[in-house]
Amino acid sequence: ISICRDLPNIEVITFSVNGISDLEPLNQCRNLSELYLRKNNIASLNELFYLKNLPRLRVLWLSENPCCGLDPHRYRMTVLRNLPSLQKLDNQAVTEEELSQALVDGEEITAPPARRSVENGCPESTESSAAESTTETESELLNFSLEETNKIREELGMKPVPRDKFSSFSPRDADCNRKKRNNVLNAILLLMKELDAEGLEIVQQTVGRRLQAFRKKELQEE
């Protein structure tokens, strides 16, 4: 997620199921409009402090993080009190009545959370391991991640990824190396949106050469 510090103009970020615990790198993404952080390791709602100054943020998916707690009403009210510009929270539309109620039932967040020692992207605590061991099926996780990835690809004018081609970079992979590969893939997709036509042509040529090399290698192995 630290890559976001270098992407101030990014508009859509999807980092669901990635062991993220710290939202500070998003603080300068002033053009961010959609943020998908479902099923991470965000422990405190005080992390919302880093999102309060993002004027264009309209969609936030934060469910299934430890910060949601056991009281869904208090959680939703606190999020909406601190991010009143949201139009959708956790795939549910925000109403004017909720925004008014949030001023009464929500908690105002005025300071960032205390720093933690766990690094983003590959936490080693037993809590993170337990968070990953849920009853949600592999198929459900893949479908959700595939939907988010294809949303980014659509923004970039790219063709959607077929489901049978998606399992190779499933965010459900337990080992840290696979998670890092996921993060690299997301970062590449996000960075591509910052490129002009000339830059995209260079990427296309480089990818073409890499694919040819892989295919040649596969033929030799056969």
15, HSE (Cβ side, Cα atoms, 13 Å): 28
What whole-number percentage of the chain has pLDDT above 90?
39
pLDDT value, residue 183: 66
Q: Which tens digit of pLDDT belongs to each residue from 160-195? A: 766 665 544 444 444 555 666 666 676 777 677 777
CA distance 76 to 102: 8
CA distance 150 to 192: 14
pLDDT value, residue 16: 87
Going by C-alpha positions, the residue among 128, 93, 107 that lies closest to residue 48 is 107
Asked which of 32-41, 43-52, 66-75, 122-131 is least confident by mean pLDDT, the reply is 122-131
List the domains of the chain with CATH numbers.
Answer: 2-105 (3.80.10.10)
178, HSE (Cβ side, Cα atoms, 13 Å): 10
Local confidence band at 121 (pLDDT 50, 70, 90 cut-offs): very low
The first and second tokens of residue 197, run together, are 């036509």
pLDDT value, residue 29: 92
Torsion sign over Cα 172, 174, 178, 182 = positive
| Single-letter code of the amino acid located at 97 | E
Look at residue 103 and tell me whether its pLDDT is greater than 50: yes
Local confidence band at 113 (pLDDT 50, 70, 90 cut-offs): confident
- Asked if 124 and 154 count as a contact pair (C-beta separation under 8 A), the reply is no
222, HSE (Cβ side, Cα atoms, 13 Å): 6
Q: Which tens digit of pLDDT belongs to each residue from 9-53? A: 888 988 888 889 999 999 989 999 999 999 999 999 999 999 999
